[in-house]
Chains A and B, each alone.
Chain A
Amino acid sequence: MIERLGRKTVDAIKAVGGFGHFVGDLARAVPDVAVWGRLTLVQMRRVGVDSLPVALFIAAFTGVVLALQASYTFTGTVPLYFVGTLVGKTMMLELGPVLAGLALAGRVGASMAAELGTMKVTEQVDALETLAYDPQSFLVLPRVLAGTTMFPVIVALAILTGIVTGWIASLVLLDLSTQEFLKGLKLFYRFKDTWFGLFKSATFGCTITLVGCVVGLSTRGGAEGVGRSTTRAVVYSAVLLLVLDAFWALVLLR
């Protein structure tokens, strides 16, 4: 048992070291703009634009549920215009970035892990290296850059969607006027609410794509290994996303 524990510890340390080595290679690939520059736009389309419907769908229902739950909680104790405050603050600070991040962890992270894992087990990555292509600049850097830049875009539109659906739900389902909802929305707004959510989502995008690439390129064992890598990429992304969420809250909101 002690031997197993020791082996696991050593593997964990090796993983950290391997990740550091991976990040170092990635940094060395940054100057190779001619390679990753033209591929980044394609990844931005795949990671960002194609993920938009899922993110907006989740945000839309989140806004409705937030409005209804806020009304349920506030009725009889707190003025109902605080529904606008709660919907706005929650969407901007927490649920917009986190729910979109979790959804894209499943969609984007799993997709990248499966794609790169397949390339790995079918030795396409080795073929690229044989053709003098750096896998970091050809495969990883465009995905990480696309995820880092497009996640805030998706989250911004998701936040807008959540607030709009929350407002519509307040108008249609609750006894709340537009003026009251907007009063609550503007009541405690700070510009930090906006940049905090967007900055956080950028780190989420970077983390999800990085995890997808790392796990995908470390795939072994054929199709089964690809399946395992896909699962691990989603799980690791979700866990890291929540840890990162708590970290940023601790660092930036105190």
Chain B
Amino acid sequence: MKRENEFAVGVVVIAAFAVVVAGALWLSGAHLGRTEAVYTARFRTVGGLGVGDPVVLRGVRVGRVEAIRLASGNWVEADLKIYAGTQPPPRPAVIAASASLFGEWAASLVALDQLPNDPNIKQAITEAQAAGSGKWPGATLPDIGQLTAQASRIATDIATVSSRIQTAFDSEAVIELRRSIKDFGQVADKLVRVTNDQADVLGSVGSNLRQGSDVLAKAATNFQTTLGRVDSATNQGQLATILNNSSATSANLKSASQDFRDLLDAAHKNQESLVRVLVSADSVMSRISNRSGTLGLLVSDSTLYRETTLTMIQLRQLLSDIQANPRKYFSFSVF
């Protein structure tokens, strides 16, 4: 009985011990019998990174976070245990980031010259690198909680803006808006009427176009008839007669044109004579204007004018006297 108890109890205890040890080692991802190197990374904050979280290189798990502790200078240091056989980048940096939406975090190893194009990360890495002492520089990406907090702040801002809009959009604004809508309705009614009128006009235009096209069709028909007649005239020689008459008319027109050209030449010559006459007249008028010559003196000197007039009067008196008493001045004798 005693032996049986010892064996049963021993088996159960050993089995339980094996289950606990093996399960704990397997679940925590421990690599027994393999040498692991421990590197220390420096962060300003590790965010949600915790002990036991995976360390990944290009997406492949190559280790785990062994320890996290506060360090001097407001730094946080994380010990990263890297599995044997893993070659970290030549100049490594560590980025702690949320691995999923459900609180999983991971520390990613990246080369310093292959950092993400994020100014915050670059600044954090540069700052951690400047602290020196041979530790890997680290940066932390915001987790989903921070992002949702930011989204919450944006939502709050939108709510504030909405509240302000609601305040500005008071009952008077509503009345104005309703009035505007009413006006807009009236404008729409007018537009409908104008549209209907324009539709009527377009309808009449279309009707006219239809009539015009009918007229054109008739003209085309007439033209076709004319062409038929021309065709028949061509057949009976009438067209040749018309063409002959046209040729004679054209010759007459040519002759008339020649006569008209001769007339124009003569007129051109007479124009030269007229120009000369005008030049002479202009010379005479100039001399008169300059009070030179007989006519000029006659125009400018009133004495001569009066004497001339008096002479003319005396001549008329003489002629009148001659007409009245011809014998006084003339004597006829035959013998």
Interface residues in chain A, defined as those with a beta carbon under 8 Å from any beta carbon in chain B: 41-42, 44-45, 48-49, 52, 78-79, 82, 88, 150, 152-154, 156-157, 159-160, 185-191, 194, 198
B47 CB within 8 Å of chain A: no
Contact yes or no, B12 A157, CB < 8 A: yes
**Which of B20-28, B76-84, B245-253, B270-278 lies at the interface?**
B20-28
* Chain A residues positioned under 8 Å from B103 (CB to CB): 188
Contact in complex: A198, B28 (CB < 8 Å): no
Judge whether B262 is part of the interface by a CB distance below 8 angstroms: no
Is A41 in contact with B2, judged by CB distance below 8 angstroms? yes
B19 at the interface (CB under 8 A from A): yes
B contacts with A, residue count (CB < 8 A): 24
Q: Which of B8, B51, B52, B102 has a CB less than 8 Å from the CB of A49?
A: B8
User: In whole angstroms, what is the CA distance A36 to B2 when docked?
Assistant: 14
B8, B16, B19, B27: the one within 8 Å of A189 (CB): B27
Chain B at the A interface: SS class: helix
How far apart are the CA atoms of A157 and B140 in the complex, in Å?
40
Is A194 within 8 A of B12, CB to CB? Answer: no
B267 in contact (CB, < 8 A):
no
Q: Are A191 and B28 in contact (CB under 8 A)?
A: yes
Interface string of B197-210 (1 = CB under 8 A from A): 00000000000000
Evaluate contact between A156 and B16: CB separation under 8 angstroms.
yes
List B residues at the A interface (Cβ < 8 Å): 2, 4-6, 8-9, 12-13, 15-17, 19-20, 23-24, 27-29, 51-52, 100, 102-104
Whether A160 lies near B23 (C-beta < 8 A) is yes
Complex interface: chain A residues within 8 A of B13 (CB): 150, 153
A194 touching B9 in the complex, CB below 8 Å, given contacts A185-B27, A186-B27, A187-B104? no
Name the residue on A nearest B5 (C-beta).
A45
Q: Is B24's CB under 8 angstroms from A191's CB? A: yes
Contact of A157 among B6, B15, B28, B100 (CB under 8 A): B15
Closest B residue, CB atoms, query A156: B16
A150 to B2, CA, bound (A): 17
Q: Is the CB of B23 within 8 A of A48?
A: no
CA distance A44 to B6 in the complex (A): 9
Whether B9 pairs with A198 at a CB distance below 8 angstroms is: no
Of all chain A residues, the one with the shortest Cβ separation from B100 is A79
Q: Do A42 and B15 have beta carbons less than 8 Å apart?
A: no
Q: Which residues of A contact B5 (CB under 8 A)?
A: 41-42, 44-45
Question: In the complex, which of the residues B16, B29, B102 contacts A78, with contact meaning CB atoms closer than 8 Å?
Answer: B102
Task: Select the residue from B8, B15, B16 with max chain A CB neighbours within 10 A.
Answer: B16
Complex-state Cα separation, A79 to B16, whole angstroms: 32
With a cutoff of 8 Å between Cβ atoms, the chain B residues found around residue A189 in the complex are 27-28, 52
A82 with B102: in contact, given A41-B6, A49-B12, A157-B16 (CB under 8 Å)? yes
Q: Are A156 and B19 in contact (CB under 8 A)?
A: yes
User: Which residue in chain B gives the minimum CB-CB distance to A187?
Assistant: B104
> With a CB–CB cut-off of 8 A, which chain A residues contact B19?
156-157, 159-160
Q: List 26 A-B contacts (CB under 8 A).
A: A41-B2, A41-B5, A41-B6, A41-B9, A42-B2, A44-B9, A45-B4, A45-B5, A49-B8, A49-B12, A52-B12, A78-B102, A88-B27, A150-B13, A152-B16, A153-B12, A153-B16, A154-B16, A156-B17, A157-B19, A159-B19, A160-B19, A185-B27, A186-B27, A189-B28, A190-B51
